[in-house]
C-alpha cells in the first residue's frame, strides 16, 4: 500500500477538471487532468501510468503546485537559442525578397544576394548559406527562379516582332526574314 501523501487543503478545493476543459495548451491540460486524477484518490504511480508520463514528472507537478498553486502548472519559458527573427516578422523579410526579385534587372536572385539583403536591411547574419536556404524553404519561396531578363531587352521591339511575325515581314531590329504562317 502506498504511503499517504500530504497535499494542501486548497488542492482538494480546486476544480481541475473544468480548468482542463478550458485550457488550450496540451501540456498544461495533461497536468490539470493528472491533478484531477490524484484528487479522485489515485496514486501518483497510477496517475503516471494513466497519462503516460514518468512518476518523477507527477512528483514535480505536485511540488510546483505546492509552491505556486495553479500558476505553477503553467508552461515555463523554454531554453534554447533565440531565433534570428525576434525583431523582424517573416512577412517583412518575405516582402523584401519578393521586391528584390521584381526589381532585379537580368538574372536570378541567388542565395548570396538574399544573404546580403538580410545583413544590410535586417541585421541578420548567417554563418553559411544553408541557413538562408532553410529560410527560403520556410518562406515557401525556394522555387523562385524567374526567367532571366536581359538588361538590354526592349519590350516595344518584342511586341513589334510578334506583330510582324504574323504578317510575314522582316524584323526591324536585325532585318532577317520572318517565317510566314
pLDDT of residue 150: 67
Q: Are the beta carbons of 11 and 70 closer than 8 angstroms?
A: no
Q: Distance between CA 30 and CA 38 in Å, rounded? A: 12
Residue carrying C-alpha cell 480546486: 14
Residue 76 has pLDDT above 90, yes or no: no
Residue 170 backbone dihedrals phi, psi, to 5 degrees: -95, 155
Helix locations, the chain, DSSP H? 9-13, 16-22, 26-39, 44-50, 55-68, 90-103, 111-122, 129-138, 155-167
pLDDT of residue 110: 87
Question: In a 3-state reduction of DSSP, which class is residue 134?
Answer: helix
Residue 165 has pLDDT above 70, yes or no: no
User: Read out DSSP for 56-92?
Assistant: HHHHHHHHHHHHHGGGGGSPPPPPSPPPTTSSS-HHH
- What's the mean pLDDT when you consider all of the chain? 83
Position 147 confidence tier, pLDDT thresholds 50, 70, 90: low
What the block records as the C-alpha cell of 157 is 521591339
pLDDT of residue 155: 77
pLDDT of residue 43: 92
Return the domain boundaries, the chain: 9-73, 91-138
pLDDT of residue 90: 84
pLDDT of residue 180: 58
With a CB cutoff of 8 Å and minimum separation 6, the contacts of 154 are none
Residue carrying C-alpha cell 526574314: 177
Amino acid at each position: 500500500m502506498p504511503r499517504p501523501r500530504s497535499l494542501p487543503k486548497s488542492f482538494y478545493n480546486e476544480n481541475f477538471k473544468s480548468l482542463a476543459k478550458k485550457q488550450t495548451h496540451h501540456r498544461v491540460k495533461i497536468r490539470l487532468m493528472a491533478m484531477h486524477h490524484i484528487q479522485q484518490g489515485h496514486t501518483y504511480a497510477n496517475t503516471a501510468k494513466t497519462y503516460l508520463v514518468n512518476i518523477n514528472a507527477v512528483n514535480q507537478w505536485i511540488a510546483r503546485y505546492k509552491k505556486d498553486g495553479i500558476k505553477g502548472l503553467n508552461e515555463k519559458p523554454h531554453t534554447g537559442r533565440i531565433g534570428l527573427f525576434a525583431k523582424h516578422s517573416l512577412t517583412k523579410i518575405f516582402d523584401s525578397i519578393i521586391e528584390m526579385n521584381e526589381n532585379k534587372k537580368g538574372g536570378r536572385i541567388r542565395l548570396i544576394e538574399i544573404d546580403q539583403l538580410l545583413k544590410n536591411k535586417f541585421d541578420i547574419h548567417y554563418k553559411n548559406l544553408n541557413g538562408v536556404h532553410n529560410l527560403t524553404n520556410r518562406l515557401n519561396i525556394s522555387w523562385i527562379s524567374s526567367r532571366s531578363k536581359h538588361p538590354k531587352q526592349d519590350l516595344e521591339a518584342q511586341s513589334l516582332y510578334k506583330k510582324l511575325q504574323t504578317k510575314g515581314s522582316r524584323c526591324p531590329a536585325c532585318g532577317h526574314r520572318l517565317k510566314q504562317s
